[in-house]
Amino acid sequence: MVEVFKNYIGGKWIDACSGETFESRNPAHTDEVIGVFPRSREADVVAAIDAAHAAFRPWSRTPAPARAEIILKVGLLLERYKEDLAALETCEMGKVLAEGRGDVQEAIDMAKFIAGEGRRLVGETVPAELRSKFAMMVRQPIGVVGLITPWNFPIAVPSWKLLPAILCGNTVVFKPAEDTPACAARFVQIFEEAGLPPGVLNLVTGYGPEAGAPIVEDERVRMLSFTGSSAVGREIAARAGRSLKKVMLEMGGKNPMIVMHDANLELALEGALWGAFGTTGQRCTATSRIIVHRDVADKFTTQLVNRAKKLRVGFGLDADVDLGPVINEQQLKTIDEYVNVGKQEGAQLLLGGEILTGGKYDLGYYYRPTIFSDVHFRMRIAQEEIFGPVVAIMPASSYEDAVTIANSTQYGLSSSIYTQDVNLAFQAIQDLEAGITYVNAPTIGAEIQLPFGGVKATGNGHREAGSSAIKEFTEIKAIYIDYSGKLQRAQIDVE
């Protein structure tokens, strides 16, 4: 029997006000229904915001170390349910099981890290200008926070937002991607099991225009954190600007990996395969452009094609599978359209470039790993985010040429360089326009103790994870305590 899920509002699991529902299906076996979910609309979102608004004052007054105890329990429960959650991710999102485990482990790590911040939440003390006066800065919660998350990391990315937001004393309305609502519901159930008070976390499932837009529009939501496409992020920023909400955006990427003539080619090839085809290329940090020095380009390209030919595509619960399906039919069509654009632009198709059909492939959304060579940096396939198992190999005649190509897109999320020259590596760290740079590693693999985010059109200057998470989900208050017993006029009465 197919499981029927509900929204979680004010500590209760309830249906959508309209009674309408939608299905989540397995992208590897589209005949399998993962669950049935409430198709939430404005009335449901308003109810969730009502609950979060009512819960904010008592939760914000709960001591931060006590809030942290609940976050730690969430982490320990995630450890307990890690295998079940990983399998659910594979069935609902499509990534292979090992990657599902990694996704959940990232949330476990985040919970433990953020729980530790409950005894810090550091402010600052500074000298006052006047005698008998004390000056300091403290951090306070923002209020009701709206979190809108993507489908490609259905446990990890929500953990980057939910855990610090709640630890900092905010209350939350959580709208997950409509492709992965089961993962979101299971995650919320873990918060409930950990003892989170009613109303602190509220879940509404549904589609962006129906369930996401009302979160953006409601003036009681004082902050929005969104991860997803640049087009949607721009629209959220424009709408939220009318009510002066704080907005945190993490959007697209077109991430370059530079392979210099002195690189360890074996290491670079392993990194290219993992960076380009891990999660079937459905990562904002995916290695979508490989910029190779001409001295080693032919050798590198030949070996990369030979290795990519051996990648096995199928259902991620099968032990011998390297790549799972893409998320849905629309994404499958989008990937294929971009491949056709690449052909029309004159790029050389070396591998793949087709939707997989026949047998087991007819049941899901599968695309063959695809490699283009002779890609010019002005081509659309070198400029626009494809979000699939497609990588472009781009020749470069020098380090300067490689950096120019790497920086030629509107995006600036992740970047990498493979070289044995330590001086060149440090030069690249300075020159690459990106929020993240790896040396002798691909563009994927961020850890939770450092900030995550990008520059240019990738985001709007905010960062997730690390100590930045605490800064993002708090407001700063400056405090002056005058114990002189007389009026002191700053700047005027300075002795």
398-415 pLDDT, tens digit per residue, is 999 999 999 999 999 999
- The one-letter code for the residue type at 183 is C
Distance CA 232, CA 402 (A): 31
- Tell whether 234 and 280 lie within a shared domain: no
pLDDT at 495: 66
pLDDT at 1: 84
Domain total of the chain: 2
Query: How would you list the strands of the sheet with 414-418, edge to edge?
Result: 348-351, 370-373, 390-396, 287-293, 255-259, 414-418, 436-439
485 within some domain? no
- Tell whether 290 and 235 lie within a shared domain: no
Cβ distance 16 to 41 under 8 Å? yes
Angle (nearest 5°) at CA 17 between 13 and 20: 95
Q: Is 93 helix (H, G, I), strand (E, B) or coil?
A: coil
pLDDT at 492: 85
Q: Which helix (H) or strand (E) holds 480?
A: strand 474-482
- Tell whether 263 and 243 lie within a shared domain: no
Angstrom distances, CA of residue 384 to CA of 229, 252, 301, 428 = 11, 9, 22, 23
Give the CATH number, domain containing residue 118: 3.40.605.10
- Tell whether 52 and 70 lie within a shared domain: yes
Q: Which helix (H) or strand (E) holds 144?
A: strand 144-148
Give the CATH number, domain containing residue 406: 3.40.309.10
Give the DSSP letter string of 26-49: -SSSTT-EEEEEE---HHHHHHHH
Distance CA 439, CA 418 (A): 6
CA proximity to 121, closest of 473, 367, 489, 393:
473
Q: Is 224 helix (H, G, I), strand (E, B) or coil?
A: strand
190 within some domain? yes
Strand-pair category, 411-412 with 455-456: antiparallel
pLDDT at 400: 98
Distance of CA 260 to the CA centre of its chain: 29
CA proximity to 49, closest of 239, 248, 214:
214
Could you give the count of Cα atoms lying within 13 Å of 420 in the half-sphere of its Cβ?
Answer: 7
Beta strands in 352-433 (DSSP E): 370-373, 390-396, 411-412, 414-418
Query: How would you list the strands of the sheet with 474-482, edge to edge?
Result: 124-126, 133-141, 474-482
pLDDT at 490: 84
- Token digits for 375? 């890609």
CA proximity to 68, closest of 29, 110, 111, 106:
111
449 within some domain? no
User: Which residue has 């493979």 as its token pair?
Assistant: 418
Q: Give tens-digit pLDDT for 195-246.
A: 999 999 999 999 999 999 999 999 999 999 999 999 999 999 999 989 999 9
486 within some domain? no
- Tell whether 232 and 279 lie within a shared domain: no
494 within some domain? no
Q: Which helix (H) or strand (E) holds 7?
A: strand 7-9
* Residue 252, C-beta contacts closer than 8 angstroms, at least 6 positions apart: 229, 230, 284, 385, 411, 413, 457, 458
- Tell whether 167 and 80 lie within a shared domain: yes
97 within some domain? yes
- Tell whether 205 and 337 lie within a shared domain: no
- Tell whether 152 and 97 lie within a shared domain: yes
- Tell whether 401 and 463 lie within a shared domain: no
Angstrom distances, CA of residue 317 to CA of 152, 320, 334, 364 = 17, 9, 25, 14
Distance CA 439, CA 113 (A): 25
Distance CA 150, CA 95 (A): 14
Q: What helix, strand, coil percent values describe the chain, rounded to 5?
A: 40, 20, 40
Instruction: Give helix then strand counts, H and E, for the chain.
Output: 15, 21
The residue ranges of the chain whose pLDDT is under 50 are none
355 within some domain? yes
Distance CA 98, CA 32 (A): 21
- Tell whether 173 and 259 lie within a shared domain: no
Catalytically annotated residues: 250, 284
Q: Is 475 helix (H, G, I), strand (E, B) or coil?
A: strand
65 within some domain? yes
- Tell whether 261 and 245 lie within a shared domain: no
Distance CA 420, CA 439 (A): 10
Cβ distance 284 to 250 under 8 Å? yes
DSSP-assigned beta bridge partners for residue 474: 141
CA proximity to 313, closest of 358, 268, 254:
358
- Tell whether 231 and 347 lie within a shared domain: no
* Residue 181, C-beta contacts closer than 8 angstroms, at least 6 positions apart: 5, 24, 35, 37, 205
Domain limits at 338?
Answer: 255-439
Contacts 24+ apart (CB under 8 A), 96-100: 96/316, 96/321, 96/322, 96/323, 96/324, 97/316, 97/317, 99/278, 99/279, 99/316, 100/316
Cβ distance 405 to 255 under 8 Å? no
Q: Is 420 helix (H, G, I), strand (E, B) or coil?
A: coil
